[in-house]
Amino acid sequence: MLCKDNPLCLDGKVAVVSGGASGIGLATGKLLAEYGAKVVLLDVNADQGEKAVKEIKNEGGTAIFLKCDVTSNDECKNTIEAVEKEFGGINILFNNAGVTVRKTVVDLTEKEWDFVIDVGLKGTYLLSKYAIPVMAKGGGGSIINTGSGWGLKGGDKAAAYCAVKGGIVNLTRAMAIDHGPQNIRVNSINPGDTDTAMLRDEGRQLGWKEVDSFLVDSAKGRPLERLGTPLDIAKAVLFLASDLSNWITGTALVVDGGGIA
């Protein structure tokens, strides 16, 4: 635990991370635990979630896994109630669950559109709906929503994803306005292409036979000349979760190696 005389210390805080079984969510869960938070990983993949919790515990952190489909009102409500019962409150919520289908509006089926919208945007709404009252009872907290560079500009063959991420960026601002009086800060992080299983799947969706070539292509033109790593994004979440950012709310923090500069 990296807490002694450290302004990033999260000792005693409870952090809920959706999409926490892999990728950015897992990297963030590990980092928040390293800095002292009690971490609750949420995901639909129970096997990966339990494995992730073991990894955090093996590194000396405190974590539990709760299976949660963020598109379900009842599951989100019951999950937040379970967290409050287990730990007594919630200080940090990282709304990170998301999926993508790389198609235009013409090619998307209604089912595909609903799937992307429901996981990314509805899931952010539902977890926040039930977590905010718990945070408020505890004196406030920090919510970080995962947007995207494509929430601030458009992208090709990603209509539903761009709609979700643009919605998250502005939902974040609205939540910051509404809940600032409760001492709840709400910010979005907006990653560029990050080396995760989801990005690799995008390459396959777009017809790349060599996924590594797709990753190289994704990094082209970026001033820092590389893809992001899950840890790159986790570090930004740690900053927004900590007291170092205690006068920052309603912002859209871009973490993309200069991709939309």
Q: Helices marked H in the chain — which ranges?
A: 23-34, 46-58, 73-87, 110-117, 123-137, 159-179, 197-205, 211-219, 230-241
Catalytic-residue membership of 161: yes
Among candidate residues 35, 125, 130, 161, the one labeled active-site is: 161
Sign of dihedral through CA atoms 43, 235, 227, 169? Answer: positive
- As a whole number of angstroms, the distance between CA 100 and CA 247 comes to 32
Pairwise CA distance, residues 209 & 218, whole Å? 15
Structural tokens at position 212: 């590594």
What amino acid is encoded at 196 in this protein? T
To the nearest 10°, report the CA torsion of 64, 99, 166, 123. Answer: -40
The interaxial angle of helices 46-58 and 23-34, nearest 10 deg, is 30
Catalytic residue numbers, as ranges = 161
